[in-house]
Structure 1
Amino acid sequence: MTSFPFAIVGLDLDGTLLDTSGDLAAALNHALSSAGRPTLSVEQVKPMIGGGARHMLAQGMAATGGCTEAELDVLQRRLLDHYQANIAVLTRPFPHALDALDRLAAMGVRLAIVTNKLESLARQVLEELDLTRRFAAIIGGDTMGPGKGKPSRIPIDAMIERCGGGRAAFVGDSIYDIRAAHAAGLPAIACSFGFLMQPIEELEADAIIHGFDTLIPTLERLA
């Protein structure tokens, strides 16, 4: 048994564990270019990340002139095909993330990913970065069914069940993460280094970290 106060620590993927912004921006820009739209910078794309590929694409199209649902259908396929083929070109874990995961695992904490990314893509990027084995559960935006991604509590509840139960906390960078964790009754930690859609204070997280080197002491304080 571990003396650590949490048996399970769940993490969002994009903007929390991994800096996927370069590869996601490239995929979005591929879709925008194919529609004759101007491309966007990585910094412009970052606030669009977190709600899934279609949400990101819709925001990118809105920023460059708008579109119909039919156009989104076509362009989403182009975006996903490009992203799947180039999923880990620039993507890397954030600094100190793997050290924190190693320390948590050494204390017997079970780790999980809950993301609004399609589960297949989440598993692909984790596999290409040799990270899959670290996680007891990997839940994507489509895992629990349509409309059951974050901010619903459903994937958080599933995370706890798949990890065998116990006291849990969640770490993320978006309002979707914090609301999902709170809806499930979990303390939520916000990452200031993530792909923020709004000032981090507005997320109303229970704590804020500015790097993974402070995650474990922050979890201990939350307990």
Structure 2
Amino acid sequence: MTRLRFRTVVFDLDGTLADTAPDLTDALNHALGVLGRPAVPANDVRAMVGHGARALLRKGLAATGGGDETMVEEGFPIFLDWYEAHIADRSRPFPGVEAALDALAADGVALAVCTNKLEELARRFVSAIGWEDRFAAIVGGDTLPVRKPDPAPLLAAIEAAGGGPAAFVGDSITDTDTARAAGVPCVALSFGFSDRPPEALCADRLIDHWDELIPALATL
């Protein structure tokens, strides 16, 4: 394997490392049901993910008739309780993820996660899927006072993992905007939870499968 120039590679979680949409959909629809709302189709939920649980619930309410922040706060613990209990029931790593992570680690690259998922939920998911020892740092949406697309969480993840030079891998405009604000090169996936066409993400490189990650990073 060609040695990369990056000391650290940071990854988004939902829609990047793993397809978490099935469990997020179940949790959202459970909360909506308790609030007297109809379910949201799974494909619609994929485009709603990326800004944290409250934002997901807010979008779910908007898609089923609207709702104010009182409803969001009422539904939030219902969503969390369900999701914590079922966080990895149906979620799975994307094909090729673990081989790519193994190859990067074998090359001496430190790995980290920067997600808008609550840090405790991110750590719980990583543990549930058997990835406890893979990441040098995990920064969640509540780790700092700000979250992506503010660059601070990404920069904190890079520092906690050992420093740069670093690259970021994500699947949404939130991720590419974060990388740009942090001055970090970004690889985007064409198959994640984006709310727009992959080309509109304006990433430095766009890949269609995890097998393409390391060759893409080698060109940056």
TM-score > 0.5 by shorter chain: yes
Show CA shifts across 1:55-93 (max 9, x none): 111111000000011111010110111000100100111
List, as ranges, runs of 4+ consecutive aligned residues in structure 1 with deviation greater than 4 Å.
Answer: none
Cross-structure match for 1:215: 213
User: Are 2:125 and 1:133 equivalent residues in the alignment?
Assistant: no
What is the deviation of 1:175? Answer: 1.1
Cross-structure match for 1:70: 70
CA distance in 1, matches of 2:164, 2:67: 45
What is the deviation of 1:3? Answer: 3.2
Cross-structure match for 1:8: 8
Structure 2 counterparts to residues 43-192 of structure 1, below 5 A: 43-145=43-145, 148-192=146-190
Percent of pairs identical after alignment?
52
Structure 1 residue matching 2:219: 3-state secondary structure: helix
Matched length: 219
Cross-structure match for 1:203: 201
Show CA shifts across 1:76-133 (max 9, x none): 1101110001001001110000000000000000000000000000000100111021
Structure 1 residue matching 2:167: 3-state secondary structure: strand
CA distance in 1, matches of 2:87, 2:161: 27
Instruction: Report the TM-score, using the length of structure 2 for normalisation.
Output: 0.98
Structure 2 gaps of 5+ residues are none
The question of whether the paired residues in 1 share the 8 Å contact of 2:112 and 2:135 is answered with yes
What is the deviation of 1:20? Answer: 0.2
CA distance in 1, matches of 2:35, 2:50: 23
CA distance in 1, matches of 2:8, 2:159: 10
Structure 1 gaps of 5+ residues are none
CA distance in 2, matches of 1:73, 1:172: 28
What is the deviation of 1:166? Answer: 2.0
CA distance in 1, matches of 2:41, 2:188: 24
Instruction: Report the TM-score, using the length of structure 1 for normalisation.
Output: 0.96
The question of whether the paired residues in 1 share the 8 Å contact of 2:4 and 2:217 is answered with no
Q: In angstroms, what is the RMSD of aligned CA positions?
A: 0.9
User: Are 2:19 and 1:19 equivalent residues in the alignment?
Assistant: yes
